[in-house]
A and B are shown apart, each in its own frame.
Chain A
Amino acid sequence: MTGLLVVEQLLNGLQLGVMLFLVAAGLTLVFGIMNLVNLAHGSLYMVGAYFAVAFLGWTGSFAAAVVLALLATLAVGMLVEVVALRTLYERDHLDQVLATFGLILFFNEAVAIVWGRAALFASVPPALGGFVELLPGLRYPVYRAVIILVGLAVALLLYVVVSRTRLGMLIRAGASNRTMVAALGVNIRLLYTIVFGFGAALAGLGGLMAGPIYTVQPGMGEELLIEVLVVIVIGGIGSIRGALVGAVVVGMVDTLGRAFLKPMLATVVSPAAADSAGPALASMLIYILMAAVLYFRPQGLFPAARS
């Protein structure tokens, strides 16, 4: 029985991991290529979740809501890039932090104006409801299983796009030498806008899938964003492979810590002490992990090659 519980929590950890990866991928790409620290990336995750809820109410179809929400988040991302972020690429990180902090304030408030401050309820689509029996005795929610599959599929797709296609080649070239790529006749500004838009859409995908599991409310993006920052610091900033490994590791450590740390502590110290120390310690685990990784490898596990 305990074995099955561990497997179930491992799956939950993987599910959190792919969710973190969807947001981390865009953030790490934008940093690796445009050298931009975008704290407002979590806002795009939030916007994706809200769009999905709104379009679901409007069309009544989950599939249509997903497509429309992805397109809308893509558009919002590109708009933000053109209006505000484009001028920040050449600025130092401090300016980028401050300006994107301003964007977060704006997005959180804009969402509150349109949809209100209270958390919205997003339901699991009926077609993906219910459970699937993965192992004898292990029933796992279909919806979470689908999230894992979608996340892994996106990871694979991203790998193929970046390493095997012409767009991916331009992206890699733009990361290593922007001026040279522009000199060869590539419209680098357009390329940046496209990359930013797709990063936004990936974050939006994470957000719209997260809706039915977590709560949809203003500020939901930042809670995730901090964990995503831990992910890309561990994985190495600018590296997609690092983002994937970091996301899965952080997802696992966080989920397993929250599930098992308290009962494990209770076997060592008194149950009362475990009750109060367990949750505190569990919430610290991923940061301790980050500190440990940095101590041995200050550039993360997979430092991206930068010129």
Chain B
Amino acid sequence: MSSHREAPEISKNPVADSTDLYAFVSPDKPDTVTLIANYIPLESPAGGPNFYEFGDDVLYEIHIDTKGESEPDISYQFRFQTQLPNPDTFLYNTGPITSLTSSAWNRRQTYSVTRVDGSGVHELGSGLICPPCNIGPLSTPDYASALAGPAVHELSDGSVVFAGQRAEGFYVDLGSIFDLLDLRPFQNLQVYAKALGLQAAPGVNTTAFVNVHSIALQVPISKVTASARPVIGVWTTASRQQACILDSDTGQPVYSGPYTQVSRLGDPLINEVIIPLGKKDYWNTQQPGFDKQFAQYYAHPEVSGLLPALYPGVFPNLAALDKAGTVRADIEAILLTGIPTGIIPGFTNFTGPVQADLLRLNTSIAPAANPNILGLLGGDAAGFPNGRRVFDDIVSIELRALAGLTVPLVDKSFTPDAAAGELTDGLTPADLGTPYLDVFPYLGVPYDGFDHPS
């Protein structure tokens, strides 16, 4: 998936596992940028009695490079604290949770938001309450207006923040992708599926009824950009203290030492499909500014080599490109530096020559009146890879780019295969189980456990 369980170590550490990162100019407040970092993959809505929550022992951060040096000029830090008012019951709630101050709610989290920038360390809010998980109509009635809505908090600098459960907004047919890239709409062409006589079929959204935990921040553009530099680079990290002892006397872990990074995420699907298995854990510990060490995997993406092999005769031009050992300068530009001025008329999200996995957003590009889920590939410069909106069809965009559709950006003589412009896992936002919101925090109301028990 975008970055769910994408590396061996972090897959065992879900509260610190960043799953998706979004950055976009807010469509309803275009003088602001919305940043959303999702954590905790594949939450089953009925996963009680210990429902999902952020890690008190995890330092969550959203970093912004404003100067094009792939360094964090601004970092927003989020620290969580769990309260258990009544330790003598096994229940998450002892009755309906009708408000964020309900005494029936027995396991709650609050958090602080700190901004670290060149002027120092600024606490923007503390004691901010998360909403409960969406348990069911009896336990969490009127979830959206009574619980989630009041959990949107204004910070001392005028920004707004939300941290808590949301419906998974990333749509993907995992079952087909990880079954030897057997994209259902094209499985009549896939080498193994074709041998079995399988026919083309619609995609299946694996994440249709799972939740995730979101940290969402809406900040005035002026607070996250440098003067005359509208392009920002965004990434999120999760860090844990280096030493952990499992105290057999108390049954509780004891943490000590400085925080060390265990997860990071900028562009979607990078550690998922660009970085090889042997480097994934290491990649998660690295700073984006050192990503030159991984550039070979962008220059020769494994997926680009797999497509002609798995779909024989469908990608002849891509196969020739691969055979010639051509460096994929288009992928390097899109994912490692941003697209420089002059490549696409009127567009750039170039941050500078430093190769780094950043989600790059040109904040001077206004939200689209009629967004295209294929983003820049669909002629919509307000979408991925110019930042990422919650509805962008990341899977299709990256599949098509890796299949060679974006090679002409750097080599006008190359003709992409016809299939490159059609690749998809067959899904759109219509395959979600619940719609996105039109307003902050934009990701949908989480699925409740009673109505989505499996």
A, B assembled together? no
**Chain B residues close to A by CB (< 8 Å):** none
